[in-house]
Amino acid sequence: MGQEIDLLVNYPKTKRDVKDRGASKTAEDRAIARQFGKEFFDGDRRHGYGGFNYNPRFWQPVIPTFKEHFGLTQNSSVLDVGCGKGFMLHDLNEAIPGITVKGIDISEYAIVHAIEDMKPFVMVADAKSLPFKDKSYDVVISINTIHNLERDECAQALQEIERVSRGRSFITVDAYRNDEERVAMEAWNLTAKTMMHVDDWKKFFVEVGYTGDHYWFIP
């Protein structure tokens, strides 16, 4: 198993009112969010982002951390599983001209509305069955994506990340370390179907054969 390491340490933190959001979310809100369509990205805030637009302050501070950790150069190739509108790939490409980037997302809406320069490099695809050959990419990154699958499907996605990477990967997933965090996570969550204690995630990684790096999303 890889490192437990926060490669998003420089991603801007926002103050979240977890209790207020949890109280306002309904089963219908979650069902709409899990369609990952317009309502999730650019609809009402109760269904998702409430407007998912490019802002350099989010990913630009993170890219140097990725670059250093993975030793990324213009000769590297990176796949983003759950790329959304391609914002992270855009900033990666800006920071390391010539790098090979590719993104996949289950959301046709996100891919159609991807940031313009990334449209040739992103596609609709399923994390459970990545349309790439074994060891296609030097690094595979997946931020807050695979936990949106049921447990057995999550295992498939992790095995696919393992298959298409050349031994380097990084994922973040919804997790908790105690009962208080578990309650907060269950209230906050809109889309995740697999949420576990950090220790259970680690056991799961070993069970399914995921050997990449990892960290947790805890609101």
Q: Please answer whether residues 88 and 59 qualify as being in contact, where contact means their C-beta atoms are separated by less than 8 angstroms.
A: yes
Q: How many CB atoms lie within 10 A of CB 77?
A: 16
Single out the residue of 56, 112, 54, 103 nearest to residue 77, CA to CA: 103
Between residues 46 and 113, the one the model is more confident about: 113
Instruction: Please name the fold of domain 18-217.
Output: Rossmann fold (3.40.50)
- Axis-axis angle for helices 198-208, 151-164 (nearest 10): 60
What's the average model confidence in pLDDT over 101-108?
A: 98
Residue-wise pLDDT for 134-192, tens only, equals 999 999 999 999 999 999 999 999 999 999 999 999 999 999 999 999 998 888 889 99
Q: Which residue has the tokens 């947790």?
A: 216
Question: Which residues are CB-contacts of 186 (< 8 A; sequence separation ≥ 6)?
Answer: 22, 195
Dist CA 41 CA 49 (whole Å): 5
Residue-wise pLDDT for 18-76, tens only, equals 555 555 678 899 999 999 999 999 999 888 899 899 999 999 999 999 999 999 999 99
- Predicted local distance difference test score (pLDDT) of residue 187: 86
Question: Domain locations in the chain?
Answer: 18-217
- Predicted local distance difference test score (pLDDT) of residue 48: 86
Dist CA 142 CA 52 (whole Å): 18
Token digits of residue 162: 């393992």
Between residues 18 and 211, the one the model is more confident about: 211
